[in-house]
Amino acid sequence: GGKMEQGTRDYIVAKTKEMIAVDYCCEEAKAAGEAFLKVAGTAEEDAQMKAYVAELKEDLLSIEELIAFAKSENAVKCFGEDDAREMLKHAEERKAAGEKFCDCEACAAAAAIIDKVETN
């Protein structure tokens, strides 16, 4: 097996499944998550984990990116006007509170994985 502790691996596998189950999870993050799940517990795990975390860091939306998205036509197209407005309000409140990242289900799971890997 990899050098990862079983408890850490279980946590990352669970969070990965959570993330890829989110219907708006970005395709790259989903693909990286699925690739990691395939090799979890094998000798390839560590190498894949590095690539996975690098991908998640790219995909994790900063609060600025979230605000920009929420103001865009795209947000209205994806979520409808009311939800896009709510998203913007929420994002601006989080920024005011000093938060740095988006906290949608996909980003929250990605952040949890990055955090777990980097603090272990």
Question: CA torsion sign, 105 to 34 to 74 to 92?
Answer: positive
Residue 61 CB burial class (10 angstroms; 0-12, 13-18, ≥19): buried
> Quick one: pLDDT at residue 2?
53
If we measure between CA atoms, which residue out of 90, 85, 81 comes closest to residue 61? 90
Chain centroid offset of residue 77 CA: 22
d(CA 120, CA 117): 6
What's the pLDDT tens digit per position in 12-50? 999 999 999 998 888 999 999 999 999 999 999 999 999
pLDDT of 1 > 80? The answer is no
pLDDT of 103 > 80? The answer is yes
Question: 65 Cβ partners below 8 Å, 6+ apart?
Answer: 102
> Quick one: pLDDT at residue 54?
96
Question: 6 Cβ partners below 8 Å, 6+ apart?
Answer: none
